[in-house]
Amino acid sequence: MNKVTKVLLVSSITNIFLSIIKLIFGFIGKSSALIADGIHSFSDLSTDIIAILGNKLALKPADKEHPFGHGKTEYITSMIIGVIIIILGLGLINEVFNKEITIPSILVVIVSIFTIISKYIVSYYIYKKGVEYKNNILIASGKESRTDVYSSIFVFVSIILMQFSNAVSIFRYADLVGTIVIAILIIHTGYRVLMDNVSILLEEQIIDKDYIKEIKKIILSFNEIKGIGELHILRYGPYYKLLANVRMNDKILLSEAHEIIDKLENSLKKHDNKIKYVYIHMEPQN
């Protein structure tokens, strides 16, 4: 089991646990908002399953039909997650106008606090690992999990306000307003996840200046390489594809130049194991 799958497994187990807790206490405490939040957590679980599947496919080795591997499966999976998030948000808005208004038990407040803290810790963990591993599936899953934190916060606030609905009648609609706000946040997050991965699917380029500087330093460490023309490092799922034009000493033999390029490719891959595909075009110095 790879490290990304392990993170997603932690997320899945947490979502199952929190979903059950929310549903049980939602029914006991007569809180339709908490029940809806439990269903929301189950949606997290569905995206985790898709994320695990997408990560597994992304790591499949190259074959005859896919000479660059299956890395882009990661982005397609993340886009599916984005669409699911948007559908979830639209579903919540639809549910608002078909939900009966009830005053939930104060017990639900305690459960809401517990779920908020638990879900925040897990969503932070997933997103942090996504950034650390530079894995878009984990980042997308972390963002989706964060929407569950927001929804739990709004459930908590709506429950508190509805406790005072006898004194302030407008508070009876706190649950309705909170659900709409939650839905908007969810749709916004889904849109961002979707658009981010559309951009990457179109071969987004690495723009980290320090990283590019390191790569150029490795290339120019070979004495026979006199300069660098174009240099592009593209994301390709969990791997990078490096394309470069280098200007070489035109006094050396072609066989020598070829040997130098081979050594350069090995050095780049050794520097960062994410660099899996390297294509270097040689040009004469002048």
| Token pair of 164 as six digits | 């005072």
- pLDDT 10s per residue in the chain (286 long)? 678 778 878 888 888 888 889 889 888 887 777 777 777 676 666 666 666 666 666 666 666 665 555 556 666 777 777 788 788 778 878 877 776 677 777 788 888 899 899 889 988 998 898 888 877 778 877 887 787 787 788 788 888 888 888 888 888 888 777 777 777 777 877 787 777 767 666 666 777 888 899 999 999 999 889 899 888 888 766 678 898 999 988 888 888 888 999 999 999 988 888 888 888 988 887 7
| Token pair of 68 as six digits | 């660059």
189: nearest Cα among 63, 44, 89 = 89
For CA atoms 111, 112, 118, 119, the dihedral sign is positive
Which distant-in-sequence residues (6+ apart) come within 8 Å of 186 by Cβ? 85, 86, 88, 89, 92, 147, 151
Whole-number Å distance between alpha carbons of 171 and 230: 62
Q: Where in the chain is the domain with CATH 3.30.70.1350?
A: 209-284
69 in the Ramachandran plot: left (φ > 0), alpha (ψ -120 to 50) or beta? left
The CATH architecture to which 209-284 belongs is 2-Layer Sandwich (3.30)
Which distant-in-sequence residues (6+ apart) come within 8 Å of 153 by Cβ? 116
Residues in the chain: 286
Residue 240 bridge partners (DSSP):
235, 275
| Token pair of 148 as six digits | 């569950």
Task: Give me the half-sphere count of Cα atoms (radius 13 Å) on the Cβ side of residue 57.
Answer: 16
**Measured CA distances, 285 to 67, 70, 71 (Å):** 32, 37, 35
171-230: pLDDT as tens digits? 888 877 777 777 777 787 778 777 776 766 666 677 788 889 999 999 999 988 989 988
Q: Where in the chain is the domain with CATH 1.20.1510.10?
A: 3-201
Query: What fold, for 3-201?
Result: Alpha-lytic protease prodomain-like (1.20.1510)
Q: What is the DSSP letter of 231?
A: E
Q: What is the DSSP letter of 205?
A: B
Does this model's pTM top 0.75? My answer is no
44: nearest Cα among 115, 150, 157, 147 = 147
The amino acid at 158: S
